[in-house]
Amino acid sequence: MATIVVHPTGESASATGTEAEKNCRKLAALVNEQLASTPKFNPLRPCDDRQPFEKPECHPLDMPPIAPWTSIRWGDSKCDCIEGDDTEIMHLTVCNPYKNLTLSNLVVTQLIVVDANGNPVPNLPDGSPSIQLVPIGPYCFDDIAPCTCVTREFVLRLRGAPPGPYHILLRGICFDACFHGDEEDCFIFNVCKD
């Protein structure tokens, strides 16, 4: 997929979007390298004594698991049932249950139907499965804002399916968890007498 990149000269160029990004990353790395090669030796003391004076060591952030809430619903009434020969429209809903983060770029990569033991569903005489999910994926949910839900639909198709329990597996629920921070800081400096 091509994107339009506008250069500082005002000219447009068709590119993959990576040339401009590469240029910005390259310039940022050069500036960072230049600043790191000329260090300053007198650090300002933080106003808050709880903040460490020296740069802290890098370590993994200890946080609880983050997971979206998922649901599949179907049926025009509570009396509806799924029969061996049937077509049902299903709603796959993904909710972000957190008020302080966004679930970003969320995708459910694949839906699979299996029997209660995790085995593939029985095939029909022509070799096709007796239960199909259409489409099998991927389902793109984009960004899910705090405390909101997004729904996609798929079709459950049954042709001569034996009675009994089945499972729909949601595989590859992939997302980024994006926190929004809003902090302040303060540093002290002294002015020497001339």
Tell me the backbone φ, ψ of residue 160, rounded to 5 degrees: 70, 35
- The amino acid at 172: G
Mean pLDDT estimate for the chain: 86
From the number of C-beta atoms within 10 Å of its C-beta (0-12, 13-18, 19+), residue 14 rates as: exposed
Region label for 160, one of left (φ > 0), alpha (ψ between -120 and 50) or beta (otherwise): left
CB 169 within 8 A of CB 98: no
Whole-number pLDDT of residue 9: 44
CATH superfamily label, 69-179: Immunoglobulins (2.60.40.10)
Residue 67 has pLDDT above 50, yes or no: yes
CB 179 within 8 A of CB 103: no
Do strands 45-46 and 86-95 pair parallel, antiparallel, or not at all (unpaired)?
unpaired
Residue 3 has pLDDT above 60, yes or no: no
Whole-number pLDDT of residue 17: 57
Q: What is the pTM of this model?
A: 0.70
CATH 2.60.40.10 maps onto the chain at 69-179
Whole-number pLDDT of residue 118: 95
Higher pLDDT, 41 or 3: 41
